[in-house]
Amino acid sequence: MVRKTTPRTRDKRTLALHGGPKAKARPYTTGKKHSLAEHRAIRKIFVRGEIAMTRGPEVMELRRRFAKLYGAEYCVTASSGTAAIHTAMGALGIGRGDEVITTPFTDMGTLIAILAQNAVPVFADVDPANYLTPPEAIEAKITPRTRAILVVHLVGNPCDMPAIMKIARQRKLPVVEDVAQSYLCKLGGRLCGTFADIGCFSLNETKHIGAGDGGMLITNDAKLAERADLFADKCYDRTGKGIQPFFAPYNYRLNNLVAAVCIEQLKRVRRVTATRHRHGNRLSAALAKLPGMIPLKVLPGGYCTYYYYSFHVDEARAGTSAQSYVEALQSEGVPVGHAGRRGSVLHWPIFRDKTLNPHACAWACPLYKGRVNYHLARYPGVQAAEQGSCVMPISEHWTSRDMAETIAAFRKVSRHFARK
> What are the strands, taking DSSP E only, across 103-172?
120-123, 146-152
Q: Which residues, in sequence order, are bridge partners of residue 201?
A: 216
**pLDDT, tens only, 187-203:** 999 999 999 999 999 99
> What are the strands, taking DSSP E only, across 126-243?
146-152, 175-178, 186-187, 190-191, 198-202, 215-219
Quick check: is 331 in a domain? Answer: no
Rounded to an integer, the average pLDDT of 148-163 is 98
Rounded to an integer, the average pLDDT of 261-275 is 97
Catalytic residue among 24, 207, 297, 412: 207
Q: Domain total for the chain?
A: 1
The overall average pLDDT reported for the chain is: 93
Asked if pLDDT for residue 381 goes beyond 50, the answer is: yes
Quick check: is 363 in a domain? Answer: no
**pLDDT, tens only, 282-333:** 999 999 999 999 999 999 999 999 999 999 999 999 999 999 999 999 999 9
Q: Which of 52-56, 68-72, 211-215 has the lowest mean pLDDT?
A: 52-56
Percent of the chain exceeding pLDDT 90 equals: 85
Q: Is 196 exposed, middle or buried (0-12, 13-18, 19+ CB in 10 A)?
A: buried
Quick check: is 3 in a domain? Answer: no
In our burial notation (b when 16+ CB lie closer than 10 A, e otherwise), range 371-385 reads: eeebebeebebbbbb
Banded model confidence at residue 399, pLDDT cuts 50, 70, 90 = very high
Asked if pLDDT for residue 382 goes beyond 60, the answer is: yes
Banded model confidence at residue 356, pLDDT cuts 50, 70, 90 = low
Q: What is the pLDDT of residue 7?
A: 46
Tell me the three state secondary structure of residue 304. coil
Give the type of residue at 307. Answer: Y
Q: What is the pLDDT of residue 33?
A: 95
Under the phi-then-psi rule, with left for phi > 0, alpha for psi from -120 to 50, and beta for the rest, what region is 203? alpha
Quick check: is 138 in a domain? Answer: yes
**Which H or E element spans position 337?**
strand 337-338
Asked if pLDDT for residue 186 goes beyond 90, the answer is: yes
Asked if pLDDT for residue 32 goes beyond 80, the answer is: yes
Quick check: is 51 in a domain? Answer: yes
Domain residues for the domain of 42 are: 36-268
24 annotated active-site: no
Q: What is the pLDDT of residue 154?
A: 97
Q: What is the pLDDT of residue 10?
A: 59
CATH number of the domain residue 139 falls in: 3.40.640.10
